[in-house]
Structure 1
Amino acid sequence: MANIQTMAEQAEKISRQLGIDKYDIYGSSVEETSVQVDRGEPKQVKASQRSSVIVRVWNGDRQIGVTSTTDIDPTGLELALKTAYEASSFGAREHVPDFSPEAQAPTAEVTRSQISPAPVPDLVEKLVYAEKELLEAHPAIASVPYNGLAQRALERFYLNSDGALRSEARTYASIYLYSKTEQEGRKPRSAGAVRVESGLKKLDIAGCLQEAAEKTVSHLDYERIPSGKYQVVFSADAFLSLLSAFSNLFNAQSILDNRSLSTPDSLGQQIASPLLSLYDDELNANNIAAETFDGEGTPTRRLPLIENGVLTHFIHSAGTARRMGATPTGHASIGAKVSVSPNYFHVMPGEAADDSYRLDRADNVILIDELQALHAGVNALQGSFSLPFDGWLLRDGKRISVESATVAGDFRQVLNSILHIEPDAEVIPGGICPRIWVSELSITGEE
């Protein structure tokens, strides 16, 4: 990626020559190396360098034109600005995006470890070791069909014609291991784990393979369960998956498009149990991939979404904030259209709950570890879901793997049926969340 200050100076000079008064530019570049292995041998080794730049130009009638490019030398930048300016004649005249009023506000001071990439042979060696250890963890584990070790270096920037100028860079590494069993007369069982850190040397590979092995083995002695109503405990991963699937609850753009479970009047309403508090916490120290500004240059921050069950904020772009009389929240992505999406969920206990809820004493309780088929089993506009899951039936605290089953319900009912939020939270790539106990959901077991 070119020097951001040089690019800003070039953009200003070119825009004057083209007669452009108002523009902004957002860009990012990623350098990535990843490996996969199969029974001790490299299966796939990839290296890539990707860059993307979005240029927006406003004409004298306040219409906007948008173009994208990967060429950011002076010639490419001039072509992008010219093309966007020409496209602005065909731009919308209503609800036209504008600069964020916070595009020049100070961003948070975030300390990041910039770690140099490791050689590819090191990546292969560590992944081969992890695969070998996982295969040897139990005789029933026959393969690790899905695995990967990757390292990435990311740079991003935002600038506009009013003088906004932001840039940041970070590195991170990730590993995933997904093992599969084979036992005579039994169905194959599988489970996996993921770890993310700022670099390969900090990556908890041992913890990842241990978690994958333990989860896989725990599903070997599975049983069928009868269909019915069960008290349910969601793991951090499962609950955050549901939150993401129904994030239109907080999404101002979805609300304005009438594609949300909320309305503009929902703020201040009780939408969940008083036990639940939820924050969008992009700058949390546990978020390895934290960004200090969004696609419009708005600083990111810790935003309370639900406090003691009460809906307190929506997530906004500059455009949705202007239309709803609010403040941009740092959740915008720019392109042909500005979109709004959550960053990093942080679930916390609200009001204190009965501490008698313990897994080691639970009986006839379903513990859901991972939800599947979220792309097909969620109706985000109605609030309903019907999803296969991996998990266990708890009998007097003992975990018994569920052979095959589906959980169904209404997400709003889930929020209002929370019985207990455990005090200890788990950090996963998508956020931070404790286990969540819910009073009753429909479970359909395999016939």
Structure 2
Amino acid sequence: MSLTDSRRVAIDTLLDIDLEEAYASIRLPEILRQAQLSPRDAAFATELVYGTSRLTGRYDAIFRLITGRRSMGELDPPVRAILRMAAHDMLALKTSPHAVVSQAVDATREYCGHRPTGFVNGVLRTLSRRDLAEWRCDVLAGRDGIAHWYSHPSWLVTELSAALASHGDDPRDLTKLLVANNNPPSVDLAVRIGDRAALQRHLPFDVEPTLYSPIGLRMSRGNPGRIREVRSGKVAVQDEGSQLMTLLAMHAPLEGPDSAWLDMCAGPGGKAGILAAEAARRGAHLVANEVFEHRAELVRSSLAPFEDVQIRVGDGREIGEAEPKKYDRILLDAPCTGTGSLRRRPEARWRKRPADLEELTALQRELLTSAAGALRDGGVLVYVTCSPLVAETLTQVRHATKTLGLTQLSAPEILRGAIATDIELPEGDNVQLWPHRHGTDAMFGTVFTR
């Protein structure tokens, strides 16, 4: 049995993720276009890549038990990729062990030569002798068993547990959160221009209104790139949690004029697109600022349907001093660890380190200081992260109130008013969304005024 094209595509992508720090969401479509697989084979390759990436920690823990190795890093990269993919094929997709072993041996011979084939064959045959439940017991019994079985770095599991408790949620829900991070996310659409109900009626495949966002639709199947309104920019692919944070920014009440709007860190442009549509309806002027030129290009593409938007490239940390008290409404969607969107970028969890927090939180404080300087008295500043980690959320709130002299408004009350429905949130002035509770990315948002 020769190696199938779908598995070859998966191995090539996994190698690029491992060796070049590529993202599956970018690299896999490129390889699929070159391979010209059938839709069925492309779907299989996609599941192999994303499923393997999500559960790499679990499979590595099992292989360490089998081989006695301290780290999978001791293996050649192609062997590492082939073993991980084969484990997902066998344990998660329930492909017959004989077929999985045969394909893995063929892949090893193609990518590495004959020498490692015996090792791969032996490891996978040992893997096949026990079912998933038995491996689960052994992995969970070991040190950091929860982190390994649910495929998250140990330090991140500790941080997520602390985040649940600090945000007023039940820390006993930790495993539910970890499981949710390993589930494929839905494809959500944000209707920027036009009527959501009308769009839902004429789409060629099934969509349902999102549970909370009044501008959102959730796809159960189909390619959003085939939707005319997506191609024109009237509709955009955007997680419901991200939509809710933008609605929070749009509907926060303020005193006085409401015509000068700033999206301080606008790339890649999803939130800016919703803001631009609302600014056009209200007669406000939106400035979409982005520090990196390549991300500013994405903003320009996202905001193509909107005329009265100023897109500029600049360091957000300088805006407060350059434009003191100029803006009525500011959205600061701060650079962060992205640990709230692990469902969408499963490989990202292995690239984050505790040391990253120190650098990012320092940047967030500088951006908050600048945003506070650019905010006029009576205006509103909405601080958002795609991370629930305490250092990036609650700690920054304390900095804004104690050091910068800002006052918090009730973000939950504002959000409930914006979406005209109830949403389960802990008590307090902040909004923290969770994939296991709300079905969204783990977005954090809060509202300040001065």
Does the pair score TM above 0.5?
Answer: no
**Greater relative contact order: 1 or 2 (C-alpha under 8 angstroms, separation 6 or more)?**
1
Q: Which structure: greater helix fraction?
A: 2
Q: Which structure: greater strand fraction?
A: 1
